[in-house]
Structure 1
């Protein structure tokens, strides 16, 4: 008899949600996590007495508790969590900034519609048609890959508007370069523009603590500093895992949230790894500024998505960092969220994993400082000079992402090829998380729940 009915590799949000769902229905579940705390990229650390969150800029798919069919509320029901006791703060307003145009959006979809009518009057009717199409389209129905850019070209008369809409959607959850699948476009469009952004009232630490406590209350087990060395495989089935310390743990099924390339390595699964390796990775810099500096910079938005170029090209940069476009986040700018001193500014830019990987140890830190300054030059054009009186600054690169998420190449959004049904070449080995196709915090958690419902609970 196996030690567990299910072993889950990874205590990120998809792994925790999968564990809760399985344990809730009585499965004997073990989550193994290579690090000392849960969350993966959506985690936290302490510096100079400050708790700094990683990954959590804002959660997507906002919905008030009474909207029963909304993804967020369906997720909470599946996990038997109280949505009404989950306190949230909605975004104030976010903005897309291009050289000659700006578009605002909030959790009221009408704001974006009004701004498009003002900035692109000739595209207003096309955008209304786009809204109808997005609402009617089923992104979860089996379908071949379809270009979102070509779709937009057929609906919107101005390519600049298409670029402006694609920037937030791609940065928030696209693993492909240049284009994205239409189904993924629809998912992200609804999540950001129709439902909107919010954050929990508490920090990511409290959110993760809540999930872990809920999981263990259902009888689930979790082990930290328990990295998996290999997945035990016999033919087309798996029998469990071997940890780095040599311990062998057997299971009826294994669910991996480590991504397709890493899972293939663990299971000795013969695939073309280059086809499954994502190229989109990022560098993020966290700045802590004294509260008095807030009056001298532009900080009236929740998130600013900016592009200084004539066109928007979502691809891996040729250099270490792409500074011409990126994301500026003010994590404190949510409705009703008390201000803090110091306050945070977080900047995200696309980064080249191979360049960072090739850097010698001494050069690596100098590269971070050099590229951080170049990035700040571009950010300053939008919010003003914010580098004076910085209390603390820290950056993480594609190398950091790979280390803490096991995502090959630091590809935050995983493989450009998704296993949407979660199945692998082994009958009882499943994939959840980014490489199953659901992205964002709510999406990642829904991914874990979906795979448990589809493959594990049906077996019981």
Structure 2
């Protein structure tokens, strides 16, 4: 039985571990943190629970091919049924009127036109594009040359249904998200639509996301990211997989161009193959004695544009159930910090989730998306990191309390996580959790093997753009199929 070491117990590492054990390999996952999940994570502070890793799950719908993968790895079970949150986003304007973004397209179109009749033409045009993308989703394929016990059939009907969306791709990829939003005249409608994804993406990412919601996908599994990760961990352990927490891999040991194992802070682990699920962009520079000099690796080095965020979690001693789940508050003057500026605050309200806060209290979270890594890195180096986190927190609370007064008067805890926080706990490159697919940019999908070293496989969100949870679980599966192909083992 071949020994396999998986570096990282994030969603990709757990996926790879599960499939590798099922194929008969002797598998050990090494994780530097003390919990599973990687970037898909949550944590508690003073009785408040902050969901820091997932707001929706692509492939949550049984109609989606990826759903079968989530079920195979045990991520989705009876203990985390799917909630289809609706409405998705809600803007509360200066007059206290609520404008909502709904899943059901006719309802969304009607609500947007009633609020902004001056944008009727553009709203209808957007909704037609979104409708085309309700049939556009991530397919699941088997790796060529891998012997599979239960091969995935190619569904030509499914692929044909995607054609209307495919025809829209050139225009949408060559239009930025912000350029697309700017076509709407109503400023509050622009605020609402501009809060769906990160501002640096192309318009395709925006329309695809709305299409996924409208298709009935992208639900929220009860218990969030931690329950899903723990489900996968228990599935892995039940199959006989081994895991070592607080074990940081420092080096992949290579002899005569073949993997021999890894070196960690707890000693050496021998291995016939290593699956690297730590962020590949960081791993290729940090885990090998000799610089990896291969075309795809060099492309990744030059082309990776990282999506970063500052995460703010707040515990408020007040019941905020009067507010919807996701509130978008438009700002008259942009909120600026760490070299970034934001025109609206997108607040997630967990008042209906009783396990997130003490009785009568509310957990709130916010993602401030933007390139701030080097600001925080410099603050760490000059010793001002904690002071700047506090300064940001104070400024943020002052701004948000204009919309939610209880945040200013009844705040019990605030927790600020920067890209450096994510880097520290996960080893992610620039503390990022996705790659930005910019206007006019190529969608890079990288090979998962090296020509220069036998026995090294890569998986994780950086391997296929734009990344995220679906790419993490899928590339974990693919990495094991490459391993099975190379070793002549049947993929189960």
TM range (shorter): 0.7 to 0.9
Is the contact made by 2:53 and 2:225 (CA closer than 8 Å) also made in structure 1?
yes
Partner residue, 2:173: 148
5 Å-filtered alignment, 1:60-71, equals 60-61=57-58, 63=60, 67=62, 69-71=63-65
| Structure 1: segments with no counterpart, 5+ residues | 172-176
Distance 1:383 1:451, change over 3 A: farther
Secondary structure of residue in 2 paired with 1:209? helix
**1:356 corresponds to which of 365, 376, 387:** 376
Partner residue, 1:331: 350
Partner residue, 1:396: 417
Partner residue, 1:343: 362
**1:286 corresponds to which of 313, 316, 319:** 313
Q: CA RMSD in A?
A: 4.0
**TM-score calculated relative to the size of structure 2:** 0.74
Secondary structure of residue in 1 paired with 2:25? coil
1: distance between equivalents of 2:182 and 2:225? Answer: 41
Secondary structure of residue in 2 paired with 1:346? strand
Tell me, yes or no, if structure 1 residue 41 matches structure 2 residue 39: yes
1: distance between equivalents of 2:221 and 2:241? Answer: 24
2: distance between equivalents of 1:337 and 1:366? Answer: 27
User: How many Å apart are 1:344 and its aligned residue?
Assistant: 0.3
Is the contact made by 2:9 and 2:38 (CA closer than 8 Å) also made in structure 1?
yes
User: How many Å apart are 1:286 and its aligned residue?
Assistant: 1.0
Is the contact made by 1:8 and 1:32 (CA closer than 8 Å) also made in structure 2?
yes
Is the contact made by 1:305 and 1:326 (CA closer than 8 Å) also made in structure 2?
yes
2: distance between equivalents of 1:114 and 1:288? Answer: 36
TM-superposition CA deviations, 1:222-258 (whole Å, max 9, x none): 1111111112335765443221344142223423232
Is the contact made by 2:60 and 2:219 (CA closer than 8 Å) also made in structure 1?
no
Secondary structure of residue in 2 paired with 1:322? strand
Secondary structure of residue in 1 paired with 2:457? strand
Is the contact made by 2:312 and 2:365 (CA closer than 8 Å) also made in structure 1?
yes
Distance 1:433 1:210, change over 3 A: same
5 Å-filtered alignment, 1:213-252, equals 213-233=234-254, 237-252=258-273
Is the contact made by 2:176 and 2:202 (CA closer than 8 Å) also made in structure 1?
no
Partner residue, 1:449: 477
User: How many Å apart are 1:38 and its aligned residue?
Assistant: 1.2
Secondary structure of residue in 1 paired with 2:391? helix
Partner residue, 1:412: 433
The count of aligned residue pairs is 438
Distance 1:82 1:46, change over 3 A: closer
1: distance between equivalents of 2:266 and 2:123? Answer: 61
Distance 1:252 1:359, change over 3 A: closer
Is the contact made by 2:43 and 2:50 (CA closer than 8 Å) also made in structure 1?
yes
TM-superposition CA deviations, 1:297-343 (whole Å, max 9, x none): xx52222345537999xxxx883453433421113446999984321
Is the contact made by 1:7 and 1:30 (CA closer than 8 Å) also made in structure 2?
yes
User: Bigger radius of gyration, 1 or 2?
Assistant: 2
User: How many Å apart are 1:116 and its aligned residue?
Assistant: 3.1
Partner residue, 2:120: 121
Partner residue, 1:94: 88
Partner residue, 2:287: 266
Is the contact made by 1:17 and 1:448 (CA closer than 8 Å) also made in structure 2?
yes
2: distance between equivalents of 1:411 and 1:189? Answer: 23
2: distance between equivalents of 1:249 and 1:323? Answer: 48
1: distance between equivalents of 2:417 and 2:45? Answer: 14
Partner residue, 1:174: none
User: How many Å apart are 1:429 and its aligned residue?
Assistant: 2.7
TM-superposition CA deviations, 1:324-383 (whole Å, max 9, x none): 334211134469999843210112213511111111575222211211232234434444
Tell me, yes or no, if structure 1 residue 79 matches structure 2 residue 107: no
Tell me, yes or no, if structure 1 residue 20 matches structure 2 residue 41: no
User: How many Å apart are 1:93 and its aligned residue?
Assistant: 2.4
2: distance between equivalents of 1:10 and 1:241? Answer: 13
Partner residue, 1:431: 458
**TM-score calculated relative to the size of structure 1:** 0.79
Is the contact made by 1:9 and 1:15 (CA closer than 8 Å) also made in structure 2?
yes
User: How many Å apart are 1:395 and its aligned residue?
Assistant: 0.9
Is the contact made by 1:145 and 1:181 (CA closer than 8 Å) also made in structure 2?
no
| Structure 2: segments with no counterpart, 5+ residues | 140-158, 160-165
